[in-house]
Structure 1
Amino acid sequence: MSYIKHKLTSFWSLIKKAYFSWNRNDPWARSATIAYYALFSLPSLLIIVVTVAGYFFGQSAVQGRITEQINNFIGEEPARAIEGMIASAALNDRSTFAVIFGLAFLIFGATGVFFQLKAAMNNIWNVTAKKNTVKRIIINRIISLGMVFVLGLLMLVSLVISAVLAALSDYLASIAPVITTFMLDLLNFLLSFLIVTSLFAAIFKWLPDVKLRWKTTYLGAMLTTCMFLVAEYIIGFYFGQSKPGSVYGGASSVVLILLWVYYTCLIVFFGAEFTVQYALHKKEKVEPNEYAEPAIYQELERLEQKRGQLIDEKRILDTLQSHTDKDLEMEKSDKKK
């Protein structure tokens, strides 16, 4: 009993530390920034996800599954809007140059949101890139593209398992229909939990420029998933009751998508802060990778540059003041004469 009490006390202490750190890092502004980028990245990101998973399962099936999930999250109207984005932004059989240009634009657009998310994760871990060379920018884009393919892979796994469950349901329904319904609901919940947890763990592991073990990321990812699933119900209820998009008329779908991404980012940032606190609690060896360094070094360098600027400004002000004093003295002497 005392062991459980100790674990719960430690867990609550980590939650409080994570909250204070989360609030100090201004998640509201960062979430708004990423929501803005996500709005423009969403069509490209979804096209790549649909293409990767659709290669094995058919694009219509994947697109239908995405629409269904988004419908569960934020409602039918935004889901239809996103479905329209995928259809209108798809690459058609055009000239070679147009296809290459369109593919490059797709990759750049789809990785934009993860590029910004990476910067936010580095800020949470208090690390920063040593130098933004062209090579490093390309590597960051490749990592972000990898996250897009992870989304496609998880979508593929979800579809495969769902197909297997659907195939088993008919057989099991003839044996025990009540138990079958319960078991399928439970398996679907566990499937969603596992997929979302794996996605968050991948974000916490790969995006920040730190060396981190998978074991460290999974507890934070599990907490983030629990918060995400609870928030899914709360946000869905909020959107259904208050209808915040109705105020914006024709732009309501865009507003709802922005709000959904905004609230999701707040949850992801809290999960990342919890992961940091958990790593500190377990005294994990976490250090920047070869492309990054502790952010305090660049902060000190900026402060030193600022100090030099202030010294120069003070010198200029002293010079101007001395000229002013001389002018006043000359005026006084002229008046005496």
Structure 2
Amino acid sequence: MHATATSGRNLHQPTVKAAPARRRWWLLLKGVAVGWHDARVSRLAASLSFYTLLSLVPLLVITDALLGLALDRTAVRHEIDLQLTSMIGGDQARALRAMLDHAQAPAFSSWQTVFSAVMTFIGAAGVFLELKDSLNSLWRVKAKEHVRLRDFLRGYFAPMTMVLGFGFLLLVSFICEAALAAGVSALSSWQPGLAAAVAAGDQITSWLLAFLLFAATYRFLPDTAIAWREVWLGAAVSALLFVVGRWAIGLYLGTSDFAGRYGPAGAILAIVVWIYYSAQIFLSGALFTRLHAESRGRRVEAAEKAPTARVALEA
């Protein structure tokens, strides 16, 4: 018994398949709104925020290590600080920096270093495992109840590779950010009018990298057989909302006394709010992707193999 998508329509979205183009888009957006409520996306986003918070420091440790292999470590940390400050504000960025410095404290022996590295990688993968479960829920995928241990491990390999993919995209992002920053500095002294165009290119680069990350996640992480052509639009819309929302909430957190109102826990709470908004955008984009595929008459089917909590040790 292989993994199967749930029969019927668990989410009661309006039927959008045979409608005229303009009405189809209206029904599609309406379907996303109804599906957002029926699938309890806000609750999935809250759960994802919790796992992301637990995985945030391990992800930063891995990012710092990967970028340090290709770039100057001091420049990497400065760029990480700038990016965090622009996204979540100065107080929150300093809180994350303190946690990152503490997590990178040297171990007492070589075996402790190896153990710490393994646990850091597993911790970073935790958020992608939760992402996988959330996407399976939105795609209405049921895992088969018994699966061979080999298939079980194979099903959980994708979230692990997403950690490395995430680090690679951040490496590309930071290189592009550094190149654009150098370009803005040079053009400001030579041709001030062009500096604004280069700065706009910075935002386009941020959108492009978010688009690639979202598209890869929608394509590979859930246990569904979905074609690339079905994820492009949803990833593009989600990335646009993510970039705009990142700027807006970063501006709010950076200019308001949000952290000060809640005392010592304010910085962590502000980080959770930012993660929660981002999770809402990401999961709503996944729902949009599924409904858009269905509106084009393409049935999204469950993948051949999917992991499950119960594993039968079969040969």
Superposition deviation, residue 173 in structure 1: 4.7
Of 60, 69, 93, 1:46 maps to 60
Are 2:154 and 1:139 equivalent residues in the alignment?
A: yes
Counterpart secondary structure, 2:142 = strand
Are 2:166 and 1:151 equivalent residues in the alignment?
A: yes
What letter matches 1:213 in structure 2? Answer: A
Superposition deviation, residue 270 in structure 1: 0.6
Give the aligned partner of residue 13 of structure 2: none
Give the structure-1-normalised TM-score.
Answer: 0.78
Question: In 2 relative to 1, CA 134–33 (structure 1 residues): closer, same or farther, beyond 3 Å?
Answer: farther
| Residues 168-247 of structure 1 mapped to structure 2, 5 A cutoff | 168-169=183-184, 172-173=187-188, 175-178=190-193, 180-239=194-253, 243-247=257-261
What letter matches 1:161 in structure 2? Answer: C
Hey, what's the Cα distance between the residues in 1 that align with 2:107 and 2:252?
42
Aligned length: 288
Give the aligned partner of residue 180 of structure 2: 165
Question: In 2 relative to 1, CA 176–257 (structure 1 residues): closer, same or farther, beyond 3 Å?
Answer: same
Of 270, 284, 287, 1:273 maps to 287
Give the aligned partner of residue 111 of structure 1: 125
Superposition deviation, residue 226 in structure 1: 1.8
Are 2:47 and 1:29 equivalent residues in the alignment?
A: no
Counterpart secondary structure, 1:50 = helix
Q: Is the 8 A contact 1:209 1:292 kept in 2?
A: yes
Q: Is the 8 A contact 2:155 2:305 kept in 1?
A: no
> Which runs of no fewer than 5 residues in structure 2 stay unpaired?
1-19, 309-315
Superposition deviation, residue 175 in structure 1: 4.9
Superposition deviation, residue 168 in structure 1: 4.2
Q: Is the 8 A contact 1:73 1:236 kept in 2?
A: yes
Deviations 1:94-137 (Å, cap 9, x if unpaired)?
A: 42221221112111111111111110000000002214664455
Higher relative contact order (CA 8 A, sep 6+): 2
Segment of structure 1 superposing worse, 160-169 or 31-40: 160-169
Counterpart secondary structure, 2:97 = helix
Aligned-pair identity (%): 31
Give the aligned partner of residue 14 of structure 2: none
Segment of structure 1 superposing worse, 256-265 or 6-15: 6-15
Question: In 2 relative to 1, CA 252–24 (structure 1 residues): closer, same or farther, beyond 3 Å?
Answer: same
What letter matches 1:251 in structure 2? Answer: A
Q: Is the 8 A contact 1:111 1:141 kept in 2?
A: no
Alignment RMSD (CA, Å): 2.4
Segment of structure 1 superposing worse, 204-213 or 271-280: 204-213
Segment of structure 1 superposing worse, 62-71 or 23-32: 62-71
Give the aligned partner of residue 112 of structure 2: 98
What letter matches 1:276 in structure 2? Answer: R
Give the aligned partner of residue 262 of structure 1: 276
Superposition deviation, residue 12 in structure 1: 2.9
Q: Is the 8 A contact 1:67 1:79 kept in 2?
A: yes
Give the aligned partner of residue 75 of structure 1: 89
> Which runs of no fewer than 5 residues in structure 1 stay unpaired?
1-5, 296-337
What letter matches 1:163 in structure 2? Answer: A
Question: In 2 relative to 1, CA 168–181 (structure 1 residues): closer, same or farther, beyond 3 Å?
Answer: closer
Superposition deviation, residue 219 in structure 1: 0.6
Superposition deviation, residue 32 in structure 1: 1.4
What letter matches 2:171 in structure 1? Answer: L
Question: In 2 relative to 1, CA 205–59 (structure 1 residues): closer, same or farther, beyond 3 Å?
Answer: farther
Superposition deviation, residue 242 in structure 1: 5.9
What letter matches 1:176 in structure 2? Answer: Q
What letter matches 1:148 in structure 2? Answer: V
Q: Is the 8 A contact 1:91 1:102 kept in 2?
A: no
Question: In 2 relative to 1, CA 168–239 (structure 1 residues): closer, same or farther, beyond 3 Å?
Answer: closer
More helix by share: 1
Superposition deviation, residue 269 in structure 1: 0.9
What letter matches 1:159 in structure 2? Answer: F
Give the structure-2-normalised TM-score.
Answer: 0.83
Counterpart secondary structure, 1:292 = coil
Superposition deviation, residue 60 in structure 1: 2.9
Superposition deviation, residue 280 in structure 1: 0.5
What letter matches 1:112 in structure 2? Answer: G
Hey, what's the Cα distance between the residues in 1 that align with 2:109 and 2:187?
51
Q: Is the 8 A contact 1:34 1:116 kept in 2?
A: yes
Deviations 1:271-292 (Å, cap 9, x if unpaired)?
A: 0000001110122253211213
Superposition deviation, residue 200 in structure 1: 1.0
Counterpart secondary structure, 1:41 = helix
